Structure 1
Amino acid sequence: MSVSPPPQLPLPDPQRAWAYRPASPLAGAAGGPLAGLTFSVKDLFGVPGWPLQASTRAPVPDPGPSPLVARLLALGASAAGKTQLHEIALGITGANGFGGTEHPVLPGHMPGGSSSGAAVSVALGQVDFALGTDTGGSIRIPAAWCGVVGFKPTKDHPAWPTQGALPLSPSCDHAGPLARDVRTVARVHAALTGQPIRSAPWTGVQVGLWLPGDWVTPEAAAATQAVAAQLQALGAEVHPVAFPEVLDAYSPTVLGEAAAVHRAALAQPEPPFLPATLAALRQGAALSGAERAAAGERRAAYRAGLDALFARVDVLLAPGVPSPPPRMGQEDVELPGGPVPLRRAALRLTAPFSLLGVPVVAWPSPRPFVGVQLVGRPWQDDRLLGLALTLEGAL
């Protein structure tokens, strides 16, 4: 027997950030380490009694209840409602079947995606933190464009399970938080792991600066260079490094896995996805076994390359986005080398670290809303957050 969701509270939402807001939040346990904090839930996570649409008008599989949401509630945080996303999480702009989400303070501009509503709910101070997902940049891109902090943990981190969340690409999907400061992110992570996060010194830390100049606008380059200078002032040693574009491995992997997830909807005569979503899913469904296998081989080669890079440096510093927030409907971004499709321009900066499963802190910068990524070695999530805490304190 189906259970009707509790009544929804009709609050103003001009940015269309919210998918569902009950009249009363789901209250967290009294006295827990997260007591007093509120959070929003990206509408991919199953919450008993709440609807799940994944910001699409197409039917989606039921992922079951999310143990991560249940754990956050048990730790004392209260869930305020569900946020909109780029349709089924397959995109970076925030477009969906319900009008799409708009930037929190720049009318007519994109907030980024796919965790678009999550970032907006945090940027507007509607919640203390947001629960999002990141498959190729879906936490980090909206964090940068909305001026908030994001954290993508190491792939399959036990504190951040993706069970009970509608998958996009199971081999690339991550769950993680967005907040207005690193301190809140560290508090949530520490509560989930049971281990405190302590500020870590930058003295002697070897930082690889990945700044492909033709891939970013002057604003994004300047933001990255400013953080590099701050890290040097804190005692780090910064060295330029290079890393290739990985979309030839990333795109076939994600599209092939996404098509498998949404196989039932694709079997309908006219699946009610947005045209761009439907085209991407059909592209994934058309991939041959040989094409999928070749993408896996390229992925392994990129993993070996990142391992070799981390043998020389402790942390990578990279741009978070290629440019300030684009206007809604914009398809290309003008870069030093000429116009580049927006999807490629953004994902080639963020996709390596979800494809390869390493932890990343998305660090915001002041207007014009470009940010940076601090990338750590696998399973050094606590140290990376400790370094980010020190940077936040210095600034």
Structure 2
Amino acid sequence: MSPYAAALGSADFSDPQRAWAFLPAQPLAGQAGGPLSGLSLSVKDLYGVEGWPLTASTRAPVPNPGQSVLVRRLLELGASAAGKTHLHEIALGITGMNGYGGTEHPTLPGHSPGGSSSGAAVSVALNQVDVALGTDTGGSIRVPAAWCGVAGFKPSKDHPDYSLAGVLPLSPTCDHAGPLARDVTTLARVHAALTRTQITPQPWADLRVGLWLPEGWTDRAVREAVQAFAAQLESLGASLSPIALPEMLDAYTPIVLSEAAAVHREALRQDDPGFTPFTLGLLRQGAALPAAEVEAAHARRAEYRAALDDLFTRFDVLLAPAVPTPPPRLGQEDAELEGGPLPLRRAVLRLTAPFSLLGVPALALPTVTPFVGVQLMMRWGQDDRLLGLGLGLEESDRPPHS
């Protein structure tokens, strides 16, 4: 367990980043002797935990999802739950702003940690816990992992060992549960315990890697960091080729906003339910979408899935930036990209949302450039191998034994 985790329940615990939504007097102890014994865990405040409040970082009323199957399973495996972390309000955003003031970057005051799993990323980046439980609907694990310099894993959609039962949904079509940690070794340990499998380092030699780095979609620092990461994969024996994918927000946005509005239907009956203005505007927008528009978005999603399936007949792994720029300032509305300024939300989501929309496993990894990350994707169901490739990279970065 992280030595800092023991102080979380103490009266003198300081939380200047506003990462923590709830800290019990004592952590929930995991079962002794389990494969995750000794690991401390933070829980994103979308997961139902018995005896702990659930706010989804909003002042509005939210539905009660019941008790989280995944949290209970992690406790049974030996992890101890330290408390609940803040998120971008109801998980509908990528900066970490919410009804309680929002979360700040762990080491860059005045900057965003990313979202929606903002407190989750901060809690592991600051070594307050070993593992953070987050969710990812359009990038909500991968974006904060990249901006906070940690690793994050979004499993395949409907993975049987990452249950969403007892998790307040945002978009049932796109929601995923998954962990963040400071290294892939810890992510693989959690995954191995949950799945009862062994994750071993995998070689990159002879792998076909599709590089998705659309011209003008990032700033120079991110482009160069991704290119350097690609060169590292080539040095390990992989072959890289550029690929093209469309911007999929025309499918993602109607699906997510319409489903989020349905989740929060009861609150939206009120004139002022308590959401922040931006969140309320998005939910009202979702509630007003005609059924035909949502149906058309699902049809486009099916077309995009076919295009991605075709790519995976030619490539083993896809590599892409996880974020378009380093961490933005709090309140910043636009991203300054090589292709020109773009609204921050769109600039971020067009890179990450496709892989939640289509449900393939994704692994976010930090790069040598601070607070810039990449994401690796594989075909649906290749979770074990993807984590093994992440372990292979981590192993190659370690200095040889003297």
TM-score range, shorter chain: over 0.9
Counterpart Cα distance in 1 of 2:216 and 2:106: 28
Counterpart Cα distance in 1 of 2:227 and 2:394: 16
Show the counterpart of 2:358.
Answer: 356
1:21-36 correspondence to structure 2 within 5 Å = 21-36=23-38
1:49-128 correspondence to structure 2 within 5 Å = 49-128=51-130
- Structure 1 stretches of 5 or more lacking a match? 1-6
Shift of 1:365: 1.7
Name the amino acid aligned to 1:238: L
Counterpart Cα distance in 1 of 2:69 and 2:241: 41
Name the amino acid aligned to 1:357: G
1:182-221 correspondence to structure 2 within 5 Å = 182-221=184-223
Show the counterpart of 2:230.
Answer: 228
8 Å CA contact 2:225–2:369 kept in 1: the answer is: no
Counterpart Cα distance in 2 of 1:63 and 1:299: 27
Deviation digits for residues 287-322 of structure 1 (CA, Å, limit 9, x no counterpart): 001101110111011001000111100000000100
8 Å CA contact 1:219–1:368 kept in 2: the answer is: no
Name the amino acid aligned to 2:380: P
1:253 correspondence with 2:255: yes
Shift of 1:368: 3.4
Name the amino acid aligned to 2:85: T
Shift of 1:270: 1.2
8 Å CA contact 2:47–2:168 kept in 1: the answer is: yes
8 Å CA contact 1:203–1:235 kept in 2: the answer is: yes
Name the amino acid aligned to 2:376: L
Q: Greater shift after overlay, 211-220 or 249-258?
A: 211-220
8 Å CA contact 1:197–1:386 kept in 2: the answer is: yes
Counterpart Cα distance in 2 of 1:366 and 1:27: 36
Distance change in 2, residues 1:9/1:211 (3 Å): same
Show the counterpart of 1:3.
Answer: none
Normalised to the residue count of structure 2, the TM-score between the two structures is 0.96
Counterpart Cα distance in 2 of 1:260 and 1:8: 36
Shift of 1:213: 2.3
Identity percentage of aligned residues: 71
- Structure 2 stretches of 5 or more lacking a match? 1-7, 398-402
Aligned length: 389
The secondary structure found in structure 2 opposite 1:177 is strand
Deviation digits for residues 93-123 of structure 1 (CA, Å, limit 9, x no counterpart): 0000001000000000000000000000000
Corresponding residue to 2:135 among 133, 136, 143:
133
Q: Greater shift after overlay, 365-374 or 167-176?
A: 365-374
1:394 correspondence with 2:396: yes
Counterpart Cα distance in 1 of 2:184 and 2:274: 39
Name the amino acid aligned to 1:361: L
8 Å CA contact 1:9–1:21 kept in 2: the answer is: no
8 Å CA contact 1:9–1:22 kept in 2: the answer is: no
Corresponding residue to 2:345 among 340, 343, 346:
343
1:151 correspondence with 2:142: no
Normalised to the residue count of structure 1, the TM-score between the two structures is 0.97
Counterpart Cα distance in 1 of 2:25 and 2:142: 30
1:173 correspondence with 2:158: no
Deviation digits for residues 161-196 of structure 1 (CA, Å, limit 9, x no counterpart): 111000000110000000000000000000000001
Deviation digits for residues 127-156 of structure 1 (CA, Å, limit 9, x no counterpart): 001000000000000000000000000001
1:3-18 correspondence to structure 2 within 5 Å = 9-10=10-11, 11-18=13-20
Shift of 1:271: 1.5
